[in-house]
């Protein structure tokens, strides 16, 4: 048997969460995960980093052979991108 008002508690919690998300959207933040908030600047910086990495990989593969030097460069760029994403998610 349920306690009287038990379903109301869940509704109020959901309502508070929806209000919180709406207020954050007004401030320009976007929820990207469980509790990871990114500003518009951070989203743009990650998009630029991702695009630069994609171009670097494309250019390395353009001649049909990825040299050792190109692999190192791609690996370093991927590590920089991962570090940037980690920093923005955990600031």
Tokens of 68: 């050792």
pLDDT value for 34 = 41
Residues in the chain: 91
For residue 53, count CB atoms less than 10 angstroms from its CB and return exposed for 0-12, middle for 13-18, buried for 19 or more: middle
Alpha helices in the chain (DSSP H): 6-27, 40-61, 68-89
What would the pLDDT profile of 27-66 be if each residue is shown by its tens digit?
555 555 544 589 999 999 999 999 999 999 999 999 999 9
Tokens of 40: 């518009």
């Amino acid at each position: 048997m349920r306690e009287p008002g038990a379903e109301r508690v869940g509704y109020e919690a959901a309502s508070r969460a929806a209000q919180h998300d709406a207020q954050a959207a007004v401030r320009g933040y976007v929820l990207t995960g469980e509790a990871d908030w990114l500003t518009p600047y951070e989203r743009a910086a990650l998009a630029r980093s991702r695009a630069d990495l994609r171009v670097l990989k494309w250019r390395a593969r353009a001649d049909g052979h990825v040299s050792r030097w190109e692999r190192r460069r791609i690996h370093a760029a991927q590590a920089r991108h991962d570090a940037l994403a980690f920093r923005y998610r955990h600031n």
